[in-house]
Structures are given as C-alpha cells and as structure tokens.
Structure 1
C-alpha cells in the first residue's frame, strides 16, 4: 500500500525525494501518514481538498480486501 501511495503522489509534487509514507497498524485499522516537502503540500491537497479526496478514495478501494479500516493522513 505504501508503494501505491508513493506512485500516486510522485507525479504531483516538485520534490519527489521528500515523499515519506509511514504505516501505523492497530487492532482494527491501519493509518498511513504521508509527508511531503512543505512547498508541495498544497499540490497534494488540491483546491478544496479534491486531490486528497481522490487519493484517499483509491487507497480505500485498494484496501477493501483487508478486514481493517484504512486511513490516510497528509501531513
């Protein structure tokens, strides 16, 4: 899942070397934390959060096979 998030975000940012995805697994959920360069945060979030919502939709759909709820936090 981490590679999927990196693959989606990489073309959106100017500094792809600063993409960091960390995974925090708990009992019934998995939280992915996405960190990008401070100048790229707006590009990942998009106008009114549209790009962030689209990224989350793809990640949630990819994680439907697991029995755990998946969350994506953009920092």
Structure 2
C-alpha cells in the first residue's frame, strides 16, 4: 500500500524525492501519513480537495480486502 501511494503521488509533485509515507499500525486500523514538500501541498490536495479525495478513494479501494480500517493523512 505504501508503494501504491508513492506511485500515485510522485508524478504529481515537483519534488518527488521529498515524498514520504509513514505507516502506523494499530489493532483495527492502519494509518498512512503522506508528507510532501511544502510547495507541493497544493498539487496533492487539489482544488477543493479533489485530488486528495481521489487518492484516498484509490487507496481505500485497494485496501478493502484487508481486515483493518485504512486512513490516509496528508501533511508537510
């Protein structure tokens, strides 16, 4: 899943080397924290959050087979 997030986000940003995905696993949930360069935040979020929503939709659909709830947080 981490690789999927990186594959989606890296072509969108100007600084793909700054893309980081940290994974935090708990009992019933997995949280992926996506961090990008400060100047790329607008590109990842998109107008009215459309790009971020699309990324989350793909990630949640890919993780639907897992028994844990997935969350994707986007930050700097």
User: What TM-score does the superposition give when structure 1 sets the normalisation length?
Assistant: 0.99
Question: Which ranges of structure 2 fall in alignment gaps of 5 or more residues?
Answer: none
1:10-54, CA deviations, whole angstroms, 9 ceiling, x for partnerless residues? 110000000000000001000000000000001000000000000
Give TM-score, length-normalised by structure 2. Answer: 0.98
Aligned residues: 75
What is the alpha-carbon root mean square deviation over aligned residues? 0.3
1:1-75 superposed matches below 5 A: 1-75=1-75
Gaps of 5+ in 1: none
